[in-house]
Amino acid sequence: MRVLLAESAGFCYGVRRAVELAEKTAGQTGGCWMLGDLIHNAHVVEDLARKGVRKTVDPCLLHTGDTVVIRSHGEQKSVLDALENRGVTCVNATCPNVVRIQRLVAQAEAEGRRAVIIGDPCHPEVAGVASWCREPLVFDGPDAVRRWLDSAPGNRETPLTVTAQTTCIRELFETSWKIIKKECTNAKIFDTICNATHKRQSEAAEIAARADVVVVVGDRKSANTKHLTEICKERCPRVFQIEGADELSPDFFNGCSVAGLTAGASTPAGIIKEVYATMSEEIRAAEGKEESFEELLNQSFKTLNTGEKVTGIVTAITPTEVQVDVGAKQAAYIKFSELSDDPNAKPEDVVKVGDEIETYIVRVNDVEGYAELSKKRLDAVKVWENIETAVEEKTVLEGTVTEENKGGIVVSVKGVRVFVPASQSGQPRGADLSAMIKQKVQLRVTEVNRARRRVVGSIRAVTDETRRAAQEEVWANIAEGKRYSGTVKSMTSYGVFVDIGGVDGMVHISELSWSRIKTPAEVCKVGDPMEVYVISFDAEKRKISLGVKDHSVNPWQVFMDKYAVGDVATVRIVKLMTFGAFAEVVPGVDGLIHISQIADRRIDKPEDVLSEGQTVDVKITAVDEEKQKISLSIRALLAPAAELEADDEAAETEE
């Protein structure tokens, strides 16, 4: 069997140019942005992010001084204009072929013609091109063209300029423009399909016609990869579209002698090379399957040996054992005690009839003709092998905390005891580690001694790494005004620190509430959820200033809407002075009760009658809207009562 690899598979000029331009820009600026995916390939986008090209889908998050690389598919003109007006530096990585189409549709509008684009209306390239003119016509194929022509008689007289999406299937475009040319009296046709796309599609069609199976490599969001798949399916009955080598299977190649391989314009050469190598291995595996019957026949006459690994098929589950066909002359079975480490596990939860199972041969009885197997022992060996590999590859493992030990805790990872020192538990010094028992945790193994069955791990290494990743994510996307759902981590006399996803920001006490408060503890406590927004930040010093108060609400306007001069209000005393007391009328608005208005008698100082935090009824006696000052009076409410008592006494005297 052989593999036919398309010569044109992989990056086209426009994609390669965009990637190189983004990498160069990131290196020169110390980091830049891309608006959406630079190209339709998740692997490339992730690699660019590691090189400092951060991604955002919202152009409003970009500000003066930022640098953004415009993706190879292009962008809508209104977005580019808005970025320019805000002082954002735009590095245009739009494919030159796409730029040409943008110019053609803009020129069509200038000439009084109507622009027609043949392509996918939902594709970002088409959406971007369409924005360079008013009222463009976008058709996804000849059927849409016919419907538009038949919808109104005057459409055939409309002057048209016809273009195509760079990755459009040539057959769709040619059929569409031939209809337009035949039916319309004034149409200009421009073949804007990329030459590289045409070459790639033609080559894919040729390979598909010769192959028994075709593999198309590319991101599932990529339009040109999708079109390649459609073209291949017209000529080959077995076509598989994949994103990477890990999706390949030997079953793809059963019974075939020629396999084809092509890739979309956004697929890196490294991924194509890996798929090609894996295809060769999978093909050899598929060829090996054809010889498996003879191999199994030979094995059936072999005697099993104690200590060997053997793979078989579960044929029955009885009340005492699991029977396994291992393709040998001896019958084989697994005792329930040798099936799983979990004593509470039911056999049917571990294996089912028909399952392929790999086991360890415990004992062979040739006289009685049976072999005793153990899945549990083989699993234990594999776990130790996996743990040793995890140390080398720094893999994160998951386990359950089973006990508190002297100096730390013990975590069970697939039956293996892993000791985690207290300093690596991820808990504060002196914390009660017993509270972690039965918790599932992630850890990284730092030391293994298989002979002594000793394994040491660290939970802190994983949590620190996760926290660093979360911090980088926050700093990469933070912006003034952005809102977060955070958690109060600590409190001081001047404010609180809030965790917004691995990064702590400071909310000053003045930003916690419109009401006047003495300590943050009056409105929140450690552990409380808190909705905050970014007031300002300093990326170099790693400082963030957060706010809670909704500044869109004007407390003074709330007061004016609710009260007027002469109204009675229930207020809270917030501060005592020598000349009177300040009282909160509504959150964020205080009024003054002059010392002469506190009581219906002369007092030496306000605290003789009032105390901070006390609630009292007052009358609003004056409001200065310009200076936003309010005068309040308790005495005004007391005076009428005093006068009424005096009148009653006078009446009694007259009687």
Active site residues: 125
Neighbours of 20 (CB within 10 A): 12
Sheet with 67-70: strands ordered across: 53-56, 32-35, 67-70, 89-92
The pair of structure tokens assigned to 652 is 């009694």
| Residue 420 bridge partners (DSSP) | 409
Beta strands in 184-229 (DSSP E): 187-189, 213-217
Rounded Cα gap, residues 375 and 364, in angstroms: 15
Axis crossing angle, helix 13-29 with helix 96-110, rounded to the nearest 10: 100
Alpha helices in 528-594 (DSSP H): 555-562
Rounded Cα gap, residues 331 and 322, in angstroms: 11
Which residues are CB-neighbours of 82 under 8 A, at least 6 positions away? 59
The phi, psi pair for 636, rounded to 5°, reads -65, -25
Neighbours of 243 (CB within 10 A): 19
CA distances from residue 577 to 31, 605, 608, 610, 614 in whole angstroms, order as listed? 55, 8, 12, 11, 15
In this structure, the dihedral spanned by the alpha carbons of residues 137, 138, 144 and 148, taken in order and rounded to 10 degrees, is -10
Axis crossing angle, helix 223-233 with helix 195-210, rounded to the nearest 10: 30
> Does residue 410 contact residue 419 with C-beta atoms inside 8 Å?
yes
Handedness of CA 138, 143, 145, 149 (dihedral sign): negative
Nearest to 185 by CA among 142, 156, 148, 163: 156
Q: What angle do CA 213, 214, 216 make, to 5 degrees?
A: 155
